Amino acid sequence: MSRALRPLGLVALFALLWQGVVSLTGIPGFLLPAPARVAETLWTSRALLAEHAAITAAEVLIGLGLGAFLGWWAAILLAASPFARGILRPMLVFSQAIPVFALAPILTLWLGYGLWSKVAMALLIIFFPVNSAFFDALMRTPPAWLGMARVMGGGFWRVMWQIRVPAALPGFASGLRLAAVYAPIGAIIGEWVGASKGLGYLMLLANGRAKADLMFAALLVLAVLTLLLHAAIDAACDRALRGRT
């Protein structure tokens, strides 16, 4: 019970500090709205927020699914083939040196202002942590296990699927947990560059109209979506890993 109340207490403390800053400094509402005003906007604009949140959630979930799927198979390919490691691994590392913001306009140009440019942004952000965590775990299979498999005559792919992949699942789960936090970033960046729907689009629209309360409300909804996604992925990973023990 105390663990559940602790986050609520922190949220309440933050809201009180926020209200105190607004009250004591007299900051205009279009710069920093009071928590009560944001809460009111959350309620009065709930239908608008829900509509745009559904679009962003769809972008994030599709991007997360595709990124996890591609990251899984790419990690297995890299672990299985020294040639692939020599060619693809440096390219994957180099891709992380390119700022995501620089890719967003290109993806919007190629894929349009609809759903798929945002999915692609989320996928690009998700792919590397999933692939890297799973690949590193695949390469850290205990040597004693591999030696025993060779003594028993296990073929390469049989060893991969029955020993290396199961042993690396905790690493894959770690990558998924990171991806759950990063996925909304890609979707929001894509919406900022070009969109007609989504929480990122709504934040830009509210900012252009000096509606700081709506902008903060959209930001809070995005934060809640991210926390729920991370909690769901975390619970699913824990359950899957417990099922192996």
162-181 pLDDT, tens digit per residue, is 899 999 999 999 999 999 99
Q: Residue 148 pLDDT more than 90?
A: no
pLDDT, mean over the chain: 88
The superfamily in CATH containing domain 37-242 is: MetI-like (1.10.3720.10)
pLDDT score recorded for residue 208? 87
Q: What angle do CA 43, 9, 29 make, to 5 degrees?
A: 45
Quickly state the pLDDT bin for 245 (edges 50, 70, 90).
Answer: low
186-241 pLDDT, tens digit per residue, is 899 999 988 889 999 999 999 888 899 999 999 999 999 999 999 999 999 999 88
Q: Which is more confident, 224 or 11?
A: 224
pTM summary value:
0.88
Count the alpha carbons within 13 Å of 174 in the hemisphere toward its beta carbon. 12
Query: In the 3-class helix/strand/coil scheme, how is the chain assigned residue by residue?
Result: CHHHHHHHHHHHHHHHHHHHHHHHHCCCCCCCCCHHHHHHHHHHCHHHHHHHHHHHHHHHHHHHHHHHHHHHHHHHHHHHCHHHHHHHHHHHHHHCCCCHHHHHHHHHHHHCCCHHHHHHHHHHHHHHHHHHHHHHHHHCCCHHHHHHHHHCCCCHHHHHHHHHHHHHHHHHHHHHHHHHHHHHHHHHHHHHHCCCCCHHHHHHHHHHCCCHHHHHHHHHHHHHHHHHHHHHHHHHHHHHHHCCC
> Span 82-101, mean pLDDT?
82
pLDDT score recorded for residue 1? 46
> Span 131-160, mean pLDDT?
85
Q: Which is more confident, 93 or 52?
A: 52
Q: What is the CA radius of gyration of the chain?
A: 22
Q: Residue 4 pLDDT more than 60?
A: no
Contact 178, 134 (CB under 8 A): no
pLDDT score recorded for residue 108? 87
Q: Residue 5 pLDDT more than 60?
A: no
51-85 pLDDT, tens digit per residue, is 999 999 999 999 999 999 999 999 999 999 988 88
